[in-house]
Amino acid sequence: MIIFSKVLLNPKEYINHHLKNFQFDLKTLKFLNIYDKNDSFFILNCDSLFFSFFLGLIFIFFFYHISKNLNCWIPGKLQSCVEISVDFIEKYVKEIYPYKKNILIAPLSLTIFIWVFLMNFMDLLPIDLFPFLFKYFFNVSTIKIVPSTDINIVFSLSLGVFFLILFYNISSKGIINFLKSLFFKPFNHIIFSFFNFFLEFTSLISKPLSLGLRLFGNMYSGEMIFILISAFLPWWIQWILTVPWAIFHILVIFLQAFIFMILTIIYLSMAVEKH
């Protein structure tokens, strides 16, 4: 990873500049700059939303283009890459979700893995490149290009998985049996119903929390290291630390996407499991 020279001389201002999202206040209908202090709930992180949808569209159009130009005899490099990704996901889906065929699990797992990987991969791009370009062409003072370092984005993904967990629990067990599992597990007696509900509800809520916090914590800390290196070291010596960290971070961005996908399959498998 190549880190451009610092535009702001003060390290504190430089760090705050890179940690601030480009935001839009729905209440006042105006964009916020880095010095605006606004605790309103109705604020959109425009940069996170833009790059999330942009990377999602790249994923969709790329896979769609490959699917429409398949060559069964002499597959190209891009087609081979897509086929390896699909086979890789399908292998884990078959091993972890050994129930009747479900047309959603495999596509969902593939989408989560590729989409999260692309969002994580943005962390390897130069820190000052996009802020400089957006400032030069659009006069945008702050910009964050790594959606997975935004707590709102990662919890949106994890909440989507959580709603699927609830849906599969209810559809496979029925609403009555699902409620019974909350009040009569693990101790099948009315006396322990409150204690059972506390344990099961905590276990249920911990699933989206663990999904979101694990991804956010790892990616945010990785981005912070890049920012700190860029803020406190001169540009001509930054590569000594950034290159080894970027090489290691390649493993991190892949591993975090893989863990998010695997846990999604496991949670959905547990949701349809018959007790």
pLDDT tens-place string over residues 240-264: 888 888 899 999 999 999 999 999 9
> Running DSSP on this structure, what letter comes out for residue 5?
P
Q: Look at residue 5 in the predicted model and tell me its pLDDT.
A: 43
What are the residue ranges of helices labelled H in 97-150? 105-121, 129-138
Determine, yes or no, domain membership for 188: yes
Q: Specify the higher pLDDT residue, 72 or 113.
A: 113
DSSP 211-232: HHHHHHHHHHHHHHHHHHHHHH
CA 223/CA 215 separation, integer angstroms: 12
Q: What is the mean pLDDT of the chain?
A: 86
Q: Quick: pLDDT tens for 170-197.
A: 988 889 888 888 888 878 878 888 888 9
Look-up: residue for tokens 């912070």? 224
| pLDDT, mean of residues 44-63 | 94
What pTM was estimated for this model as a whole? 0.89
* Element containing residue 270 per DSSP (H, E): helix 239-272
Q: Quick: pLDDT tens for 94-143.
A: 888 876 677 889 999 999 999 999 999 999 988 888 888 888 888 887 88
Q: Look at residue 30 in the predicted model and tell me its pLDDT.
A: 84
What are the residue ranges of helices labelled H in 174-192? 175-183
Res. 1 pLDDT band, cuts 50 70 90: very low
Determine, yes or no, domain membership for 4: no
Domain range for 32 is 11-272
The answer to whether residue 275 scores a pLDDT higher than 80 is no
DSSP 32-99: E-TT-----S-EEEHHHHHHHHHHHHHHHHHHHHHHHT--SSS--HHHHHHHHHHHHHHHHHHHH--S
Determine, yes or no, domain membership for 46: yes
Q: Look at residue 112 in the predicted model and tell me its pLDDT.
A: 95
Q: Please tell me the least confidently modeled range out of 28-42, 63-77, 168-182, 230-244.
A: 28-42
Determine, yes or no, domain membership for 2: no
Determine, yes or no, domain membership for 221: yes
Determine, yes or no, domain membership for 82: yes
Overall domain count for the chain: 1
Q: Is 6 left (phi over 0), alpha (psi -120 to 50) or beta?
A: beta
Active site residues: 210, 214, 218
